[in-house]
Amino acid sequence: MPVTVSIRRSSARFVDRGAGRVTHHAFAFGSHYDAEHVSFGPMVCHDDHLLGSGRGFDEHRHADLEIVTWVVAGALEHRDSFGGRTVVEAGSVAVLSAGSGASHSEHATVDGPARFIQVWLTPESPGADPTYAVDRPALPPNELVQVAAPRSDAVLSVVRLDGRSSVTLPSAPRVHVFVASGALLRSSLAEPLHPGDAFLMTDEPEHTVAAGVPTELLVWTFDA
């Protein structure tokens, strides 16, 4: 019987280090290649970035990607080739639809370090005009809240759990659950999950998970 729930531990991610930054890659990226970890549905990149004050990524170009950024801590300054300059604060989501091509840069503000999770998805319609949008959603405690839908079949939701609270994860053809902070208790699915760990579920029913301490989960659902 095929495995329908797998765990990607933080310790198993590929690590890149640069001046003032550390990145953990969940999937094959650059010089890090692993045929067993290339993508998950349309998700082709899931990176956990930690940037020092004022550090980050200078201007670089993308095309035909949906780039979704969730800022966990600190603040991220974004500049792009179509005139945008935005400071994306913790608890905010940014979506860059690179489409026919867009350049951007990302740096932690000078106020302090920043940590953000960035996901790249393949687009439904390649070659579209590039766009960029930022939102800071309200996140009532212990409630799974949809924060972005960069494709019609892909949704990012976020939940902030109090210590010892639980949430029911949705059923979908593919579900990716990332522990951004905190910890999940031991369950029928796995031993405890810690920051940087993730569940990857395929054709699973709903599952309830419980937090051991205040915990933030990023939950992607894919219809294919």
pLDDT tens string 81-97: 888 899 999 999 999 99
pLDDT tens string 180-215: 999 999 998 999 999 999 999 999 999 999 999 999
Please tell me the least confidently modeled range out of 3-7, 46-50, 137-141, 163-167: 3-7
- CATH value of 145-222 in 2.40.110.10, 3.40.50.720, 2.60.120.10, 3.30.360.10: 2.60.120.10
Residue 1, pLDDT score: 40
pLDDT tens string 144-179: 999 999 999 999 999 999 998 999 999 999 999 999
Query: Judging by beta carbons within 10 Å of its beta carbon (0-12, 13-18, 19+), is residue 131 exposed, middle or buried?
Result: middle
Residue 2, pLDDT score: 63
Residue 114 token pair: 């920043």
Q: Which residue has the higher pLDDT, 202 or 36?
A: 202
What's the CA angle centered on 9, arms 145 and 98, to 5 degrees?
A: 55
Residue 12, pLDDT score: 93
- Number of residues that this document lists for the chain: 224
- In the chain, residues under CATH classification 2.60.120.10 are 13-135, 145-222
Counting Cα atoms < 13 Å in the Cβ hemisphere of 141 gives 8
Residue 75 has pLDDT above 80, yes or no: yes
- CATH value of 13-135 in 2.40.50.100, 3.30.70.1400, 3.30.1330.10, 2.60.120.10: 2.60.120.10
CA-nearest of 187, 148, 184, 141 to 164 is 184
